[in-house]
Amino acid sequence: MKTIVLASRKGGAGKTTLSCHLAVEAERAGAGPVAVIDTDQMQGLSQWWDARKAAEPVLIRAEPDLATALQLLRDSGAKLVIIDTPPALSGSVAETIALADLVLIPVQPSPDDLRAVGVTVDMVNEAKKPMAFIINRVKPRVRLTGEAAIALSQHGVVAPCFLWDRTDYAAAKTDGLTAPEIDPDGRAAQEVKELWRYVATRLEMTR
């Protein structure tokens, strides 16, 4: 079983959106059973799951604690777990990162996001975990995107595929869906597929 942790000190970076989209895409790609765990007090991932009609991915509570929940999932045959975390600098986030096989750090190409990544990177490095930056909510013809990729590459690996600023990502979440589920042939669907392919390669989960 592989465990992905979405982490970012900055709120609104896109952790929950990436969590649900990667979980569904992993199921669609045959990498399941997939489980998601929501450790953010805002419970955005849980609310998305509550609105969802499909049975997969499953939502698991981190009870009685996260390590025990992961062991139960491993024993039950889960192949992938994706954990959404709060935008905080807490010991609980550090403990969650310590349980990851891969940490994904979503970053919008903005000065505020770039300034906020350092503390998250320090947490990941302290835990000695592999990581990748995901540049998210990219707007067209914005020079800052390229500059952001260059700046982030000084701290770690940057995923070669970006997620663009598309309304489908937010619109789909209202009904517990993902952008590829509401428009399988759309550009967002292709972006998510490419991103999962990259993540699966990092996790050595390619088929």
Provide the strand spans (E) within 85-200.
Answer: 102-107, 131-135
Going from the C-alpha of 158 to that of each of 89, 98, 161, 195, 196, the distances in angstroms are 22, 20, 9, 11, 14
What pLDDT score does 184 carry? 95
Number of other CB atoms surrounding residue 201 within 10 Å: 10
What pLDDT score does 172 carry? 95
- CATH number, span 2-202: 3.40.50.300
Alpha-helix runs per DSSP H in 131-166: 143-153
**Sheet with strand 102-107: strands edge to edge:** 58-59, 34-38, 80-84, 2-6, 102-107, 131-135
CB-side exposure of 158: number of CA atoms within 13 Å? 22
- Give the residue extent of every domain in the chain: 2-202
What pLDDT score does 141 carry? 66
β-bridge partners, 83: 5, 37
What pLDDT score does 115 carry? 86
- Global pTM value: 0.94
What pLDDT score does 206 carry? 53
Low-confidence residues of the chain, pLDDT below 50? Answer: none
